Structure 1
């Protein structure tokens, strides 16, 4: 940073000490302020802070060499701490790192601070980091510093400070945006609400379908329902059906969006709100598909034996002659083509789906360029959907062939309907004539079409803007 490398911190708590450690490691001089300054006590807690200078709050705020001050105290102590020094504080930049107990849409801590001290240069930053993330680069916490302030110069200085501390600064806008920054640490799984509910409904729906099928079967059969098989064998069917349905539903909106763009002749027409939310939820739905797939593989691996899956294994018949004693016949039971094909394709599909899940992580996606990310999420994604569908078809095809008239009512066929539709739509979209036309639209070209706006007839003209939107990817 240009100018002084001296930074002040008001507060000697856990977060204040973590800040001091980080600043010292990055070559800054640090002054910590406390109501009861005691360096020996600070060193006894953290010996690495031996080079820190400890002063009273009054001495720190009156020091003209300190331009940037971290407020590492509770927000309700801001006014009482700063009120005696209204003249001195106007020359400094204060970084508010506090958070609220409950999010508020009407005010934030730094906004209240500016209201109490008009003209004060306040920056909201570092509140989304934990003390562990400050002290250790190996800790898996966030490394981004979201910055909000009405003072653009102060915002730039704090961005430089964050960058020199080893973090990635992100300009979040004016101080009003601090409301969102304070709500961020209080939000649990933001954006996962309705996708979770949606996936749960799909799982419950398949359980209902299977229950109806079991009721019909056992009403016509002399067999009795085996309740001891419910935790694994019966649940596994619903888990498998849910996994393939969710994977197909994560790619279906991308295909539908492509066809809508072709129909509209432009990429600039907004999608309906519900469809836009579906597009944004593809990552969550896809990750839930991976969750159910791993669940299915785990259960299948546990009960995979001729006793459960007799049609997957070769039949071995042993004949014992009459009046035979102490006769031992060793034999092994091997999988047949159906069993090996189902397992082989299923394993390959799970590995591919795992690659999709890993690439959706921010830390992994950050090292991929656009072409690599699109190749994994789009191209490999559709290959994965094909493999998952093939896994189900290989498993269910003998049953379909035995009774083609009842095939449409089988759960294994019903779960393949959406994947068949998605794969067919993608096959159409990659044909040269359709695919080339779609690429032209996504580059900004618009089909000439008349629209009425406010009673006036206007005509959309051809444009050739450079853009590469993609709406057919997993995330």
Structure 2
């Protein structure tokens, strides 16, 4: 499958490397095209059958405005709308909205799926070595798009779990802060992930 990743930072490159190992074609949308697999963000978005937004939240609105309509395309939003306030790291949106719902408003003709925001780039690049397949929750309004994305999550080595419609991104984005807090603030480090443990025999 042709996967366009908008952003070539740690997360974008980790996802692209792992998907490429699974046989997918990868192109990156960047502002400066310095490698053979890089295009402008608009060119990459036009090329891809699936588009992945792997950007700093502060850049998301302006970059999204340059991508075209992305009509009918599955769009993975793996960003977290992180903001810093007097109490430290938090979310810029929450309770009555989410970053993913804002992305859907910017790209109303796309099928936005919230996922790949709940773990760090190290695990995105390599899901091996865990007792269970790392869990990756997803939320979105289009069942067909979610089916496509579930397959791509499986290709990365994650266990996909459908959380419901896009409003459930209001749960997934705070959930991501649990991982961030443990990884960065509580000393657990970055090489761990959430898992879903079934009871024996269930």
- The 1-side partners of 2:22 and 2:41 are apart by 24
Q: TM-score, normalised by structure 1?
A: 0.35
Q: Is 2:72 the counterpart of 1:72?
A: no
Q: Do 1:68 and 1:92's aligned partners in 2 also have CA atoms closer than 8 Å? A: yes
| Deviations, residues 102-154 of structure 1 (Å, cap 9, x unaligned) | 24211111111222332321000111121111222126897111010011111
Higher relative contact order (CA 8 A, sep 6+): 2
Map of 2:161 onto structure 1: 170
In 1, Cα distance between the equivalents of 2:195 and 2:54? 29
SS in 2 for 1:31: strand
Distance 1:142 1:115, change over 3 A: same
Distance 1:363 1:164, change over 3 A: closer
Provide the C-alpha distance between the structure 2 equivalents of 1:176 and 1:123, rounded to a whole number of angstroms. Answer: 11
The answer to which structure has the higher strand fraction is: 2
Aligned length: 178
Tell whether the 8 Å contact from 2:72 to 2:109 is kept in structure 1 after alignment. no
| Aligned equivalent of 1:86, options 64, 68, 71 | 68
Q: Distance in 1 between matches of 2:131 and 2:43?
A: 37
Alignment CA distance shift 1:366-1:81 (3 Å): same
- Within 2, Cα distance between the matches of 1:369 and 1:151? 32
Which secondary structure state, in structure 2, belongs to the residue aligned with residue 90 of structure 1?
Answer: coil
Which structure dedicates a bigger proportion of its chain to helix? 1
| Structure 2 residue 152 is matched with structure 1 residue 161 | yes
Distance 1:139 1:14, change over 3 A: farther
Distance 1:139 1:131, change over 3 A: farther
Q: Return 5+ residue gaps in structure 2 as ranges.
A: 83-89, 180-193
Matches within 5 A, 1:264-275: none
Cα deviations across residues 333-376 of structure 1 (Å, max 9, x unaligned)?
xxxxxxxxxxxxxxxxxxxxxxxxxxxxx979548324xxxxxx
Alignment root-mean-square deviation, CA: 2.4
Residues 67/363 of structure 1: CA separation in 2 closer, same or farther (3 Å cut)? closer
Residue number among 143, 156, 172 corresponding to 1:152 in the alignment: 143
Partner of 2:39: 55
Cα distance, 1:185–1:53 mapped onto 2, change above 3 Å = same
Q: 1:105 aligns with which of 91, 95, 100?
A: 95
Residue matched to 1:121: 111
Once the two structures are superposed, residues 140-171 of structure 1 have per-residue CA deviations (whole angstroms, 9 ceiling, x without a partner) of 89711101001111111101111122211101
2:55 and 2:62 mapped to 1: Cα distance? 11
The C-alpha deviation readout for 1:426-467, integer Å capped at 9, x for no partner, is xxxxxxxxxxxxxxxxxxxxxxxxxxxxxxxxxxxxxxxxxx
Q: Check whether the contact 1:10–1:16 (CA below 8 A) recurs between aligned residues.
A: yes
Cα contact 1:111–1:175 (8 A) shared by 2: yes
Matched, 1:35 2:35: no
The corresponding residue for 1:17 is 13
Q: Distance in 1 between matches of 2:105 and 2:138?
A: 19
Q: Evaluate the alpha carbon distance shift between residue 107 and residue 36 of structure 1 in structure 2; reply closer, same or farther with a 3 A threshold.
A: same
| Contact kept in structure 1, 2:100 and 2:166, CA below 8 Å | yes
Query: Contact 1:129/1:143 (CA < 8 Å) preserved in 2?
Result: no
CA contact (8 A) 1:145 1:170 kept: yes
SS at match of 2:66: helix
Q: CA deviation at 1:86?
A: 3.0
**Superposed CA offset, 1:45-98 (max 9, x none):** xxxxxxx721111211232xx1101101022322211223434x2242210001
Deviations along 1:188-215, whole A, 9 cap, x unmatched?
A: 7xxxxxxxxxxxxxxxxxxxxxxxxxxx
Say whether residues 1:95 and 2:68 are aligned partners: no
> 1:98 aligns to what SS in structure 2?
coil
Q: 2:196 and 2:61 mapped to 1: Cα distance?
A: 43
- The separation in 1 between residues aligned to 2:109 and 2:32, in whole angstroms, is 29
Describe the shift of the 1:114–1:133 C-alpha distance in structure 2 as closer, same or farther (beyond 3 A).
Answer: same
Shift of 1:10: 0.6
Give distance in 2, aligned partners of 1:365 and 1:32.
Answer: 35
* Residues 143 and 363 of structure 1, relative CA distance in 2, 3 Å threshold: closer
Scaled by the length of structure 2, the TM-score of the pair is 0.79
